């Protein structure tokens, strides 16, 4: 059995905990070491048991706490070569803690198989991840500018998924953001809207996924109740019984 627990998920900081009975991992550490340790303590998780940190991309809301946390607990950090090239002056670690993965090539950490896949976002070499153990699969897929067949193929068969539902398109269009920033967010390398996220949930639900956690919500252009209602309304229109699904919103 494998579990996915979002610890922090917002435009200000992101970190997700992945665990089996013998292996614990983190995806991103975009919050301070102190905040992360406090959250882990709340959940009775010993930071010293974490066997790896996987970096999705180099934006500060995903990496700003990695240097301190990884050095303090001597945890290996995994990223693509291009991402490491960008981060090498800001995240300084002993060589034995620096690990490189290649998108679309799986590797193992403990009893977890990690499958990294490319995502469309305005970063150097951004990735999402699926994690498999004992025929269970969970997926982390945020910071997505759009959805395509390749992404869906990596999400399918997940029992649980952390899926971006960043903004309500009307709130974004009528909100205070500058025009250039609005264009970046709604572009193919920006962030996923509630409406697009709903279509993804529909496809995955029809193929057996039961647990959906909506993440990376914008504090300015979205709110939890709206994100969830948009998804649930779309599913009802498509005659999908939401009583059989767990749809939650990750806390910031």
Q: Which domains occur in the chain, in start order?
A: 3-249 (3.60.15.10)
What pLDDT score was predicted for residue 26? Answer: 99
Per-residue pLDDT, 16: 99
- Chain segment 169-224, per-residue pLDDT in tens: 999 999 999 999 999 999 999 999 999 999 999 999 999 999 999 999 999 999 99
Q: Which residues contact 114 (CB under 8 A, 6 or more apart)?
A: 25, 54, 78, 101, 106, 107, 108, 129, 130, 131
Kindly list the distances between the CA atom of residue 113 and the CA atoms of 30, 55, 101, 129, 131, in Å, as whole numbers in the listed order. Answer: 23, 16, 12, 10, 6
Least Cα distance to 198 among 231, 158, 236, 165 occurs for 231
Give the per-residue pLDDT at 119.
99
| pLDDT value at residue 55 | 99
CA pair distance 118, 103, nearest whole angstrom: 6
93: its two tokens: 């670690």
- The alpha carbon dihedral of 192, 248, 10, 208 has a sign of negative
Reading the block at residue 230, the tokens are: 């948009």
Q: What pTM, to 2 d.p., does this model score?
A: 0.97
pLDDT-flagged residues of the chain (< 70): none
């Amino acid at each position: 059995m494998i579990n996915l627990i979002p610890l922090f998920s917002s435009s200000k900081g992101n970190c997700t905990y992945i665990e089996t009975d013998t292996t614990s991992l983190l995806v991103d550490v975009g919050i301070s070491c102190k905040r992360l340790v406090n959250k882990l303590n709340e959940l009775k998780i010993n930071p010293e048991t974490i066997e790896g940190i996987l970096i999705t991309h180099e934006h500060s809301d995903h990496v700003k706490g990695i240097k301190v946390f990884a050095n303090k607990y001597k945890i290996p950090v995994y990223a693509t070569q291009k991402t490491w090239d960008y981060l090498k002056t800001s995240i300084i670690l002993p060589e034995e803690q620096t690990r490189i993965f290649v998108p679309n090539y799986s590797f193992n950490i403990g009893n977890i198989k990690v499958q990294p896949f490319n995502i469309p976002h305005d970063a150097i070499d951004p990735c999402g991840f699926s994690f498999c153990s004992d025929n269970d699969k969970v997926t982390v897929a945020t910071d997505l500018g759009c959805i395509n067949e390749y992404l869906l193929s990596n999400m399918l068969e997940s029992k649980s998924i952390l899926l971006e539902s960043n903004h309500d398109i009307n709130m974004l269009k009528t909100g205070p953001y500058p025009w250039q920033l609005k264009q970046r967010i709604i572009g193919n390398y920006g962030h996923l809207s509630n409406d697009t996220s709903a279509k993804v949930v529909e496809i995955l639900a029809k193929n057996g996924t039961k647990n959906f956690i909506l993440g990376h919500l914008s504090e300015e252009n979205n709110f939890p109740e709206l994100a969830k209602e948009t998804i649930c309304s779309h599913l009802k229109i498509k005659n999908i019984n939401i009583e059989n699904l767990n749809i939650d919103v990750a806390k910031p």
